[in-house]
Amino acid sequence: MSTSFRQKVLSGLFWSLLQSWGVRFGSLAIFMVLARLLEPQAIGMFSAAATVIGFCALFVESGMSEAIVQRREVSRGQLNSAFVVNMGLAALAVVILWLGAYRVCDYMRMPDLLWVLRVSALGILITAATFCQQAIYRREFKYKLLATISMLSTVGAGLVALALAYTGLGTWALVAQAMVAALITAGILWWKSDWHFHMDFDFDGMKALLSYGSKRLVTTLMDFVNTRFIELFCAASLGAGGLGVYAVGVRIYQALMQSLSYAMLDIAHNAFSRLAHDRPAMLSGYYKAMSVSAAVAVPVFCIAAAVSPELTQVVFGPKWAASAGVMTAMLLLGAVQVLQFYNGIAYNALGRPGIGLAFMSMKTVITMATLLAVRDRDLMTIISAYVLSQLSITPLSFMVAVRVMQVSMRKLLASSGGFLLSAALAYACVVLVRPHLQAVAPNALAMLILLSALGGLAYGLGVLTLARAQIKEVIALFRTRGA
C-alpha cells in the first residue's frame, strides 16, 4: 500500500467516522428529547413507515452506488444512465406505495398508518436523486464534504422535528424530520457537485454496473430482511406500542453501528476494492481493520450492553424501562457484527458478492423460520430468538474467509484476541458489580457513571495485560494520519 493511498484511506476513515459520529449522536441527542415528548404508539407508527420506505429504497438504488464505487473507471455516460434508472425506479416505487398502502396497513394492523406511509413515500424521489452524487464522493474519498452535509441536514431536520413535536403533532414530527433531512442533503449535494446530469447515456456500459449491482441488491435485500423484518414482525405481533418499545431499545445499537461499524466498513470496501489485485496488501488491511474494530468498537458495544438498564433511563426516560432488555441483546449482537461484517466487505471487493449472497440466503431462511417459531410471544422472547438466528452463521463466515481469502486465524487472533478478551472482562465486571453498587448510587445517572467507569477501567487493565503490543500498533496507525 503506497504512502499516498494510505493517507487517503486514513483521511477518509477520519471524516467518515466524523460524519457517522456527528450524524448519529446528533440524531440520538434529538431523539432523546423526542422520546420524552412522544408516546410509544407515535414512534412505532413512524418506525413501521420507515421500514417499508427503506425496503423500497433498496430496489430504487439497485446496488448501483456500490458498483460505481467498486469499479476502477466509471464514465459520465454510465453515471447519467444510472441516474435515469434510479429516478425511474423511484417514481415507480412511489406509485406502488400510494396504491398499495391499504394492504400494508392491513398486514400491520395499523389503519392510521395510511397517510403517514403515503407522505413518507415521497422522500424516495428526493433520496434517489443523491445516489450517484454520493457514490462519486465516496470514490474520490471526499468524506469531509459528506460529513459536513450530513451534520447540516441532521441539525436542520432535528430542529424542525422538535418544533413540531412540541406542538403535539406526534408521528408527523418524525415524518417532517425525514423529509427535511432528505431535502437538505439533496440540495447541497447538487449545489457542490462537479457532476451534473446530461443527456449523454451509456446503457451498454450500464451492464457492468448492473451485473455487480444486481448481486449486491439481492444480498442487501437479504440483509434488510435479516435486520429490519423484525420491525414489521413486531408491528404485526405486538402493535404500534410494542414496535415503539423495540424502536427505542435498538436506537443506541443503531447509532453505534453507524458510527463505529458502518463508517469503517464503507472505507474498508473502498480501500479493499483498490487493493483487490494485491492480495498480501489486502490481507494486511483486513487484519488492521479487524484489530481497530476489536480495539475500539467491540468494547464500546460490550460496556454499553452491560449498562443498558441505566443507559435506557438516563437517555430516554423512565417510561422506556421496558426497552432495556432489547438494548442489551442488540448491543451484544453488535459486538460480534462489527467484526463479522468485514468478511462480506472483502468478498465484495474481490468481485465475488455471490459468497455474501449465499450467506445472506442462509441467514434469511434461519431468521424467518426462527421468528415464525416464536410468533405471538412476548417481545424479549422474539428478540432473543432473533439474536441467536443472526449469530448462527458466524463460525461459518470465518471458516469461508480462511478458505477463500487465505486469512490466517492465528494472525487474526494475535492482532485482535487480546482486545476481545478484555471487552468480555469489562462486561462481566459491570454485571457482577452492579448489585453491590445499587445501595450506594443515588440514581440512575450516578449508577451509569460508576458502572461505565468500572467497565472502562476493566477494559484498560485487560488491554495492558493481554494486548500491550497490539494497542501500540493501533495508536500508531491513527498517528500516521496526523503525520
Looking at the domain assignment, is residue 354 inside a domain?
Answer: yes
Q: Which of 123-137, 338-352, 409-423, 468-482 has the highest mean pLDDT?
A: 409-423
- pLDDT for the residue numbered 375: 81
337 pLDDT above the threshold of 70: yes
Are 400 and 447 contained in the same domain?
yes
In a domain, 17, yes or no: no
Residue 31 lies in a domain: no
Is 317 found in the same domain as 239?
no
Among the ranges given (80-89, 251-260, 274-283, 467-476), the one the predictor scored with the smallest mean pLDDT: 274-283
Check whether residue 298 and residue 277 sit in a common domain.
Answer: yes
Highest mean pLDDT: which range of 86-100, 145-159, 221-235, 401-415? 86-100
For the CA atoms of 231, 52, 270, 71, what is the dihedral angle to 10 degrees? 140
pLDDT tens per residue across span 220-236: 777 777 778 888 888 88
* Same-domain pairing of 240 and 255: no
Can you tell me the distance from the alpha carbon of 85 to that of 313, in angstroms, rounded to the nearest whole number?
A: 46
Confidence of residue 481 (pLDDT cuts 50, 70, 90): very low
In this structure, are residues 17 and 215 in contact, taking their beta carbons and an 8 Å threshold? no
pLDDT for position 174: 93
pLDDT surpasses 90 at 388 = yes
Question: Do residues 237 and 276 both lie within one domain?
Answer: no
Q: What residue has cell string 423526542?
A: 34
| Shared-domain flag, residues 214 and 316 | no
Question: Averaged over 426-452, what is the pLDDT?
Answer: 91
Q: Is residue 464 part of a domain?
A: yes
Are the beta carbons of 234 and 51 closer than 8 angstroms?
no
202, 225, 248: which is the final residue of a domain? 248
One domain, residues 200 and 68:
yes
Burial status of residue 4 (CB atoms within 10 A of its CB: 0-12, 13-18, 19 or more)? exposed
- Distance between the two ends of the chain, CA-based, in angstroms? 17
Q: Does 24 fall in a domain?
A: no
- CA distances to 216, 269, 420 from 287, rounded to whole Å, are 24, 14, 14
Highest-scoring range by mean pLDDT, 24-33, 100-109, 278-287, 344-353: 100-109
pLDDT > 70? residue 8:
no
Q: Does residue 6 surpass a pLDDT of 70?
A: no
Specify the 3-state DSSP secondary structure of 77: helix
Residues 241 and 163 in one domain: yes
Q: How many residues does the chain have?
A: 483
**Given the C-alpha cell 410509544, which residue does it identify?**
40
Quick one: average pLDDT of 177-195?
86
In a domain, 27, yes or no: no
- Distance between CA atoms of 244 and 237, rounded to whole angstroms? 13
Whether the pLDDT of residue 202 is over 90: the answer is no
Instruction: Provide the pLDDT for residue 418.
Output: 93
Q: d(Cα 162, Cα 76) in Å, to the nearest integer?
A: 41
State the Cα–Cα distance between residues 275 and 278, nearest whole angstrom. 5
Sort 53 into a burial class: Cβ within 10 Å, 0-12 / 13-18 / 19+.
buried
Confidence at residue 386, expressed as pLDDT on a 0 to 100 scale: 93
Q: pLDDT-derived band of residue 3, with 50, 70 and 90 as boundaries?
A: low
Burial (Cβ within 10 Å: 0-12, 13-18, ≥19) of residue 437: middle
**Distance separating alpha carbons of residues 258 and 264, to the nearest angstrom:** 9
Domain assignment present for 33: no
Give the domain-ending residue among 248, 273, 302. Answer: 248
Q: What local confidence, expressed as pLDDT, does residue 482 receive? A: 42
pLDDT of the residue at 2: 52
Q: What is the pLDDT of residue 483?
A: 36
C-alpha cell at 439: 445501595
User: What confidence score (pLDDT) does residue 267 get?
Assistant: 65
CA distance 269 to 190: 25
Segment 146-175, tens digit of pLDDT: 778 888 888 899 999 999 998 988 899 999
Which pLDDT value is given to residue 4? 55
Q: Are residues 91 and 218 in the same domain?
A: yes
Are 223 and 295 within one domain? no
pLDDT of res. 434: 93
Mean per-residue pLDDT, 269-274: 65
The more confident residue out of 86 and 120 is 120
Give residues with Cβ within 8 angstroms of 116, minimum separation 6: 45, 46, 49, 171, 172, 175
HSE of 445 in the Cβ direction (CA atoms, 13 Å)? 4
- Report the phi/psi class of residue 109: left, alpha or beta, with left for phi > 0 and alpha for psi in -120 to 50: left
Q: Measured between alpha carbons, how far is 318 from 316 in angstroms, rounded to an integer?
A: 7
- Domain region containing 243: 38-248
Is the model more confident about 74 or about 410? 410
**pLDDT-derived band at 9, boundaries 50, 70, 90:** low
Q: Does residue 33 carry a pLDDT above 70?
A: yes
Confidence band for 381, pLDDT divided at 50, 70 and 90: very high
Residue 165 shares a structural domain with residue 237: yes
Top mean pLDDT of 18-27, 344-353, 379-388 is at 379-388
Domain count, the chain: 2
Residue where the block lists cell 448510587: 441
By mean pLDDT, which of 147-161, 340-354, 366-380 is the weakest? 340-354
For residue 164, give the H/E element and its range: helix 143-166
- Of 215, 231, 248, the residue at which a domain comes to its end is 248
Cell 423511484 belongs to residue = 90
18: in domain:
no
Give the pLDDT band of residue 377 (cuts 50, 70, 90): confident
- Residues 143 and 95 reside in one and the same domain: yes
